[in-house]
Copies of this chain bind each other. A is one copy, B any other.
């Protein structure tokens, strides 16, 4: 039986708590079961050097995990003096995804920085981060509009993300840590509610995968994303 008594294609309970930070322009705490990520969206009225004078905006992301977010303690990256390859890979993925969600040309010359800090990790931290980050971005843009900095909302493409895997020969959606560590194939999907894709990253962990398996995983993942986008919309109402 899967955690939370759910079926193979069911999500864990998803909770999006907006406005958890007193100071950030936009913020949300996202929970996918026992995975908990605190996300803030900070805004700045300037852009990185390579965009100066072009009128366009920028969205970037950083990802971190508290040392004891997991079963055993990991060394603090700030103490080690460098971010791991895994951290870099994840924050690049979050940044790319959110840049696809916000039309940078109508954003204007400002930067949105997403900080995704994992308070507790039970699998799927990157997909939870992306799902929550979209909410944080929308809240930050609303707050800019309220304070008059932004006169018109940039065009937005609502999107969310989920992990899918093959465990014991079965396609399962939203793996927890235990499932993730024994999955044969692991797929992360970022997409819109109507199935247009932003990122697809599939990895054979212990077994190669064929087109049929990939299709089944995409079916399951896109259906789950449809629900996640609906959950985002509800919170943002």
Contact = CB atoms under 8 A, between A and B. Distances in A.
A117 to B, nearest CB: 5
A119 interface: yes
Prevailing SS type, chain A contact patch = mixed
A85 interface: yes
A10 interface: no
B202 A197 contact: yes
Contact of A202 (B88, B157, B199, B203): B199
B62 A40 contact: no
Interface residues of A, number: 63
A225 interface: no
Given A23-B120, A210-B195, A218-B211, A83 B89 contact: no
A200 B197 contact: no
A78 B87 contact: yes
Given A23-B120, A157-B208, A200 B198 contact: no
A146 interface: no
